[in-house]
Amino acid sequence: MTRALITGGSGFIGSHLAEALLKLGWSVEVIDDLSTGGIENIIHLKSHPRFSYVLDTVMNRSVMMELVDRADIVFHLAAAVGVRLIVEQPVRTIETNIKATELTLELSARKKKPVLLISTSEVYGKSERPKFNEEDDLILGATSRARWCYAASKIIDEFLAKAYFKEKGLPTVVVRIFNTIGPRQTGQYGMVVPRFVRQALSNEPITVYGDGIGAGIH
């Protein structure tokens, strides 16, 4: 039986991934500090015989050493998410994204545990190409704009994954997520679609910032 470790597994995407892997017959262990995820996202999985969870930060080295050692594969989803969080807490954003990824890759490399790293479409920056390609040059905004610290930190994550593959032989896969929408997604940290849905269902005016194409994000 394949045993998966999901960092950030109580989040919107992580909880759905846990469900999907359990349906495939995998064993799933989740670690999450609930900073942006929620226990309600995985509460229905608590009674599953092949599911377990740890409420702790991914940056707890001793806990992560044990979890990675038990896993066959690591899905690294733990990260700072949401425009509001990124703008209001850039230090937390940078530290969470880079330090947690570095530790996860380091510990996984010791036992050659494959890692799937969740990145973001934000790394494409200001590209105006009709189709994006992983080999495209990246153009980011000025460092005075807090939003770009998120893209920059995820770019470093990708470089770290490639470096661990090249130097340590660690099997790594990077996935750049685009505009995911679905059940359990929250608008708490600036996710626009959940906020639009909530406002529409409450017969409230739909809040649009700037020109509605990103000009209101700073």
Assess if CATH 3.40.50.720 describes domain 3-179: yes
Query: How many DSSP H helices and E strands does the chain contain?
Result: 6, 6
d(CA 9, CA 207): 30
Pairwise CA distance, residues 73 & 77, whole Å: 13
- Selected catalytic residue, list 124, 150, 164, 189: 150
Whole-number mean pLDDT of the chain? Answer: 88
**What tokens appear for 65 in the block?**
């050493």
pLDDT band at 144 (very low <50, low <70, confident <90, very high): confident
At residue 217, the pLDDT reads 41
**Non-local CB neighbours of 204 within 8 Å, separated by 6+ positions:** 198
The predicted pLDDT at position 180 comes to 77
Res. 76 pLDDT band, cuts 50 70 90: very high
**pLDDT score of 200:** 77
pLDDT for the residue numbered 209: 67
More confident residue, 151 or 212: 151
Domain residue limits, the chain: 3-179
pTM reported for the whole predicted model:
0.84
Q: What pLDDT, on the 0 to 100 scale, is given for residue 82?
A: 65
- Is 150 known to be catalytic? yes
* Spatial CA neighbour of 28 closest among 56, 59, 1: 1
Q: Which of these ranges, 11-20, 88-97, 165-174, has the smallest mean pLDDT?
A: 88-97
Give residue 216's pLDDT: 40
